Amino acid sequence: MYEDLGTLLRIDTLQPLLLAEALIECSNYKSNVIDRCLREVAKELQAKEDVTAHRVDKTAAFMLIHTEKYHRKLDDILVDSSKFQRIAKNPVDDIKHEASRINETVNAACVALHLPPIVGNHDLSYIYGNVKTNKLRNPLCLIISQIRAPPYQLAKKLNAVLTPYVLGDRSLKSSAGFMKVLKMTPTGGVIGSMDVESPFPNIPVDETIQIILDRVYRDDSMLPKHIPLRSVQKRLLSPPRGHMSIQKDGAAMGSPLGALFTNFYMGTVKCWVFTTTETPSTYIQYIDDTFMSTSTEEEVEHLQQAFHDHSRLNFTNEYCHDCRLPFLNILMGQQVESLITQVYTKPANLGMCLNGENKYPESYKHTAISAFVRKALSHCCSWKGKHAELEHAVQVLINNGYSSWDIT
């Protein structure tokens, strides 16, 4: 019966209704959409061992994929011996004892820091992949969930302690900050963006750790001299088929330190590049995404090559298409005298948000509604654009179970 699922999902009204109901978590909720036929299809599909459902990268959707094909995609990633190594013995206890010993040493040297003790039951990090449907051959975006690993709480603490030392020059923290940059961006010339291909797995861990230590102690920090970054950065992996591996290099998406390492490394590479290369009139960076305004496309390509030469990363760039360029969640339109902006919604966005029929506190729903309103007011440069975006937001909220009373 599950072979007919594709036909069922092609019904125009069924798919959005199923997506909306997927966000409803009331235990006594009785669906008006999922009938007996769909329930049987779901049960039959769940019982199939050769087909599994996995989340699509950067969306709330799921993709059906043959289980063996999914495992092959994971194996293709783990076969890279420069980043992963197969192990036979489970070293979780050894890692736990090592991290505990370092914690005690650090806490004794700096009472103000107080790294949390490593207590409780721990296990290997779990590895899985989200499917990139917008890429050729649908590769996986590797996620390493470190929640059950021994150093997880320690990593969270170190992330909070070290984040203030990240080089913040020409860096963004939010799209609101990007709007301020656009107001000062020259309207002539070329605007473009630069992106890192698979940044997290390709961040050199040992080099980044040295960058962090140099940065922290060059500022005469009172932190102890033995921050346990290497111990925390060890990630023991348990893929779905039970093989154990250890990640030797690369930052992990799913670790509290993943974005921190990426920010430190990219910020330092940026400093290296601009010691020998002229800085564009506008240059701003958000983790691995960069927006710039230059006189010519050749300047963008020269800058891309300079970043590649000063790092081990590969970069791609994008220019305006039909005088339009998306960056973060803002769509820019380049005109002769100004840059116009509006909210950018990715094609893969399914229009899902916190469902209004859930039994969440009212404050949660108010926050969800306020987020749509703030985005429309801050990202759209004209009142016509703000009005259109607010109308769109109202429709999205209604589709997700909010009443007119909630919205108004």
State residue 371 phi and psi, 5-degree precision.
-60, -40
Token pair belonging to 5? 């699922």
Q: Which residue has the tokens 């006594």?
A: 28
Q: How confident is the model at residue 335 (pLDDT cuts 50, 70, 90)?
A: confident
CB 313 within 8 A of CB 161: no
Q: Are strands 244-247 and 84-87 parallel, antiparallel or unpaired?
A: antiparallel
What pLDDT is recorded for position 29? 54
Token pair belonging to 370? 């306020």
Spatial neighbors of 309 by CB under 8 A, at least 6 apart, are none
CB 344 within 8 A of CB 331: yes
Distance between CA atoms of 159 and 171, rounded to whole angstroms?
Answer: 18
Token pair belonging to 262? 């990426």
Q: Would you say residue 179 has pLDDT above 70?
A: yes
DSSP string for residues in 192-247? EEEEESSHHHHS-HHHHHHHHHHHHHHTT--S-S---HHHHH-EEEE-TT--EEEE
Token pair belonging to 71? 């495992």
Which residues are paired to 53 by β-bridges? Answer: 64
Q: What is the pLDDT of residues 373-394, one digit of tens each?
A: 999 998 998 899 999 999 999 9
DSSP state of 3: G
Q: Under DSSP, is residue 249 helix (H, G, I), strand (E, B) or coil? A: coil
Q: Would you say residue 334 has pLDDT above 50?
A: yes
State what percent of residues in the chain have pLDDT above 70: 85
What pLDDT is recorded for position 164? 86
Token pair belonging to 119? 């207590």
Distance between CA atoms of 105 and 282, rounded to whole angstroms?
Answer: 45
What's the pTM?
A: 0.79
Would the CA dihedral through 123, 83, 274, 272 be positive or negative?
Answer: positive
Token pair belonging to 15? 């798919």
CB 237 within 8 A of CB 84: yes
DSSP state of 314: -
Which residues are paired to 184 by β-bridges? Answer: none
Between 267 and 13, name the one with better pLDDT. Answer: 267
DSSP string for residues in 324-356? EEEETTEEEEE-SS-EEEEE---TT-----S-T
Count of CB atoms situated within 10 Å of the CB of 251? 27
Between 29 and 42, name the one with better pLDDT. Answer: 42
Q: How confident is the model at residue 250 (pLDDT cuts 50, 70, 90)?
A: confident
* Terminal Cα-to-Cα distance of the chain (whole angstroms): 44
Q: How confident is the model at residue 402 (pLDDT cuts 50, 70, 90)?
A: confident
Count of CB atoms situated within 10 Å of the CB of 270? 21
* C-alpha angle 176-178-182 in degrees, rounded to nearest 5: 120
State residue 175 phi and psi, 5-degree precision.
-70, -25
